[in-house]
Chain A
């Protein structure tokens, strides 16, 4: 039973993505009408990859090294303040930049700057945890061999953290590639923007699918790269055990700079936009400039996010449990396959799910008449959210399920519990935290989601994210402010949760306790 459930979910989720390249066979040459789009998109994508890759690499690694290897007033606090930009969707920051009429922002360079500022935390977080997991014995061994402290960090610390750092860069690049809002608003013609124009303006589904296939191949390369690097990062960390590298205390001017530079950065990326959005929001309320049907868009956002937050973790639970129950390699592979949608751009997912849905619609046509039962309703949206965010929920559920070693099941059985009893008295209490985490992550992500919602929303189904995009598109920055502000505030929730979890684990870092039966009290990685 477990295996069949898992495989079914995997086919449901990954199936549409496999269907994408088929468009090259079913209607070859569809893309030719838009031949100008591809070179344009390739060039823009190339520059964004180079710029954002280099930018996040330098900014993220430098900040991580600063808080890991040096001690200065307020370090413990600044360490977490630097994560806050994760709560800032890039299209909201774009709204802020456009509203202030920053010169030269409507360019590839502008997009690179914005992405670097909001995406560096991916590199920062992974680099920081790699630095912190390094053993002082390694650094001390290097110093014993005659290196100065800074040279030891450069020659030993950085190379050891390299897989983690590059893994972080790959994640940041995947986010940049997936973005639609920023590039669209800035007029940078990337793949996601091309897909949107082909789909909405030219109604050419096949060409959109072919563009999506091209984008997917770039994204998948990064995904594979990231997974490979993640495996290696784990090796590097396993090799290193022992105490932390003792941080060096900064004094005088360097200490002042160490405090001011990170604070200024976060003030620019989060503080200033929030203050500006509050001010614009107040003006928009006062001047009656709120988006049309603002109440409805809030309601739609809450409804979509809320229902996805229930649906997606449940499917994730089904998937994880199925894989565990069957215990077979096929099930494990199926579960991994089902999580491939994460990291794929929302516009690609939207294009992919439309194919099976419209096929079913077509079959149902005779019976129901409209032919839009699935494609024209929220069902299509939920399907896209499932494909896109299943991995997020699965990660949270799986990491808590891993904390339930099989022996706990057996111990409970030996004490007289039947299967149902084991589920109720052992698994549910142990999984509840994971399920809540999963629900929160999905809720926030769906609320921020723009491209898939834009392509698949039913008539009159605008969300807050769409309201922000639409108003910004029409240069009505004040109108966009209130929904943008609300999205940012909701987005702070998982970031706050991550900080709280890490704070709690800070104490147990000292005594990494492989406590009762493999229960290790560490926070799950929370991708925001």
Chain B
């Protein structure tokens, strides 16, 4: 049995259907990312799990206890769900220690002090225990928010866009740090984000969400490599959608033959990632022209115009550069396995 189960969850605000008959499971100890554009209903989903919104239909089950369902609404304070807010929502009148201990008041004093100290050590802030929270940096605030959510030993930790308020330079390091803290604590966690890089690099599984529904759930490699739909392919990274004719394990397109992840036959569309194409120059000939070049340091993204009129994205290591205006040959990279899309 999954640790957290959501079945047929729905929620509307006025005429907007934020979440529509959504099903999702979270396994114990897992870090699941819900990835979707803003307005797709992911924050509403989070707030229904936490108990701040009452679902119109469906149920949420945590550890075999129905916390929200027909005729049943467990108040947030009784759900054992820790939440890390986008802007942290630290209590400004309390110290770091006071914030972390906030959810532990019912415990005996010794246990409370011990847990607070251990949790602060877990996030590496024991030396700031007595600081007021407004003296902290953004990254430190976030770790306090995480420690506060973890301290009472919740069944589930929810993280609402936890990195969106941080500098790009800080983000990468903190992501890793937060992941390690969550794994150390053996917490079950659900993170919502609109940043595909964040979801792919951090989570055990990614659930792609659109218009209140889950489009696809799976490990990051699968979600990226075999997108379920054209929209999912486009949202999780850059993609070329090519039409072709499938014959068993291969598909023939205008650029050549690609391997197929699952055998098929007939007229199909395939999602080809920019790094699944390569370029070559042969004595002035070619089948495409370089329209623009985006130099990104470790790699380069080319935008090409194919002779058939189609625009193609190709991503290559920055070892060898092609100039804008060059005529080049585009062809499938070796071992490029593609997936069918609608």
Closest Cβ neighbor of A412 among chain B residues: B102
Instruction: Check B81 against A414 for contact (C-beta < 8 Å).
Output: yes
Instruction: Check A408 against B148 for contact (C-beta < 8 Å).
Output: no
Please report the total number of B residues contacting A with Cβ < 8 Å.
30
Complex partner residue of A411 from B51, B85, B106, B141, CB under 8 angstroms: B85
Q: Is B90 an interface residue (CB 8 A)?
A: yes
Q: A519 and B152 in contact (CB under 8 A), knowing A411-B85, A414-B81, A418-B75? A: no
Interface set, chain B 81-104, CB cutoff 8 A to A: 81-83, 85, 87-93, 102-103
Complex partner residue of A415 from B52, B102, B133, CB under 8 angstroms: B102
Q: Is B29 an interface residue (CB 8 A)?
A: no
Residues of B with C-beta under 8 A to A517: 85, 87-90, 92
User: Measured between C-beta atoms, what is the minimum distance from B77 to chain A in Å?
Assistant: 5
Interface set, chain A 255-301, CB cutoff 8 A to B: none
Q: Which of A241-249, A384-392, A425-433, A445-453 contacts B (4 or more CB under 8 A)?
A: A425-433
Q: A414 and B134 in contact (CB under 8 A), knowing A515-B92, A516-B90? A: no
Instruction: Check B77 against A516 for contact (C-beta < 8 Å).
Output: no
Instruction: Check A516 against B91 for contact (C-beta < 8 Å).
Output: yes
Closest Cβ neighbor of A415 among chain B residues: B103
Interface set, chain A 474-528, CB cutoff 8 A to B: 513, 515-519, 521
Give the distance in Å from the alpha carbon of A430 to the alpha carbon of B136 in the complex.
Answer: 19
Range, interface on chain A? 20 to 34
Residues of B with C-beta under 8 A to A408: 89, 91
Instruction: Check A407 against B87 for contact (C-beta < 8 Å).
Output: yes
Q: Is A417 an interface residue (CB 8 A)?
A: yes
Counting chain B CB atoms within 10 Å of each CB, the highest count among A414, A416, A430, A516 belongs to A414
Q: Is B50 an interface residue (CB 8 A)?
A: yes
Residues of A with C-beta under 8 A to B83: 410-411, 414
Instruction: Check B89 against A416 for contact (C-beta < 8 Å).
Output: no
Instruction: Check A403 against B92 for contact (C-beta < 8 Å).
Output: yes
Q: Is B76 an interface residue (CB 8 A)?
A: yes
User: Measured between C-beta atoms, what is the minimum distance from A508 to chain B in Å?
Assistant: 9
Q: Is B149 an interface residue (CB 8 A)?
A: yes
Interface set, chain B 58-114, CB cutoff 8 A to A: 75-79, 81-83, 85, 87-93, 102-103, 105-106
Give the distance in Å from the alpha carbon of A415 to the alpha carbon of B77 in the complex.
Answer: 6
Instruction: Check A415 against B50 for contact (C-beta < 8 Å).
Output: no
Question: B residues bordering A, Cβ < 8 Å?
Answer: 50-52, 75-79, 81-83, 85, 87-93, 102-103, 105-106, 133-134, 136, 141, 148-149, 152
5 additional contacts (CB under 8 A) given A411-B85, A417-B103, A513-B134: A403-B92, A407-B85, A414-B81, A414-B103, A415-B77
Closest 4 CB pairs of A and B: A415-B103, A516-B90, A515-B134, A519-B92
Question: A residues bordering B, Cβ < 8 Å?
Answer: 403, 405, 407-408, 410-418, 421, 425-426, 429-430, 513, 515-519, 521
Q: List 14 A-B contacts (CB under 8 A).
A: A408-B89, A410-B50, A411-B85, A411-B91, A412-B91, A413-B76, A414-B77, A417-B103, A430-B92, A516-B89, A516-B90, A516-B133, A516-B134, A517-B92
